[in-house]
Amino acid sequence: MSLQWDADWVEVIVEYKGVRVKALQERNTKLYACPICGTGDHATYLFSPKDLVYHLYSHAKRAEKLAARVSYEREEAEE
């Protein structure tokens, strides 16, 4: 008896509320793997297309928060 999970991944297109994402789905358990997190040690597995889209949204919000902010001030032209 094995203590490890031998996943059989299939590439699928997931659609939820107009959002289309290409992801991996495990054939037997029907779990989705986050395309950003991957299927390795730090993987995130999700149960539904809704969960997957919201998880990807959280990646986008985190990236937005970490993005560098650039600000500049316009110099007034000398008269």
How do residues 52-72 score in pLDDT, each as one tens digit?
999 999 998 887 777 766 677
pTM over 0.95: no
- Residue 3 included in any domain: no
3-state secondary structure string across 10-67: EEEEEEECCEEEEEEEECCCCCEECCCCCCCCCCCEECCHHHHHHHHHHHHHHHHHHC
Q: Which of 14, 12, 8 is CA-nearest to residue 24?
A: 12
- Indicate whether 76 belongs to any domain: no
Interatomic CA distance for residues 8 and 54, integer angstroms: 24
Q: How many domains does the chain have?
A: 1
**Residue 74 domain-assigned?**
no
pLDDT of residue 1: 53
Residue 38: pLDDT over 80:
yes
Domain that holds residue 16: 9-66
For residue 49, is it within any domain? Answer: yes
Distance CA 65, CA 62 (A): 5
